[in-house]
Amino acid sequence: MRIIRTEIEGLNIIEPRVFKDSRGYFFESYNERDLRKKGLDLHFVQINESRSAFGVIRGLHYQLNPRAQTKLVRVLQGKIWDVAVDLRRDSPTFLKWHGSDLSSDNKRQLLIPKGFAHGFSVLSECAVVLYKCDDYYAPEMEAGIRYNDERIGIDWKIDPGKYILSEKDMKLPGIEDARMNF
């Protein structure tokens, strides 16, 4: 596995080594021991999966401390534009965002540490997304930021006329009113 550091401290892309032959392919999508050797001490307790159609934007979501979650996101089918926003107030990259193409073809994963909001847009006809979390879902600690907050300015890589959002995500607050404790 190769770790690709992004411009935001702690936010990493994990690229597996894929073995291909005439039968198909094989790769390790996660190896706790190997990642620990590379300085990433991870232990996941919950795995989530979603299926979404083209144009769907999910996010921006996170859990507050003390139930904040580190997430390892990968795509089983299709392609997404995966986005993480730094919400750590003491970080030099506070409110900066990073986007990565994740797909079933490139098999890359985005490792999103605690203190980040997460969201994605679906760029293929549909996408199946799987993500591991290092803490359990805690509805009382759930928080989020509106997907189109102007102060953050995310490019979702889709024509705005084709966005599909849940009612819940459309009602999320802007950054000024969002609950944050990182």
Task: Report helix, strand and coil shares of the chain as percent, to nearest 5.
Answer: 10, 40, 50
Q: How far is CA 90 from CA 93, 94, 101, 119, 155, in A?
A: 9, 7, 28, 22, 24
Query: Which pLDDT does position 50 carry in this prediction?
Result: 98
pTM of the model: 0.96
Domain spanning 43-177, CATH class = mainly beta
Q: What are the catalytic residues?
A: 61, 131
List of the chain residues with pLDDT < 70:
none
CB count in 10 Å sphere of residue 44: 16
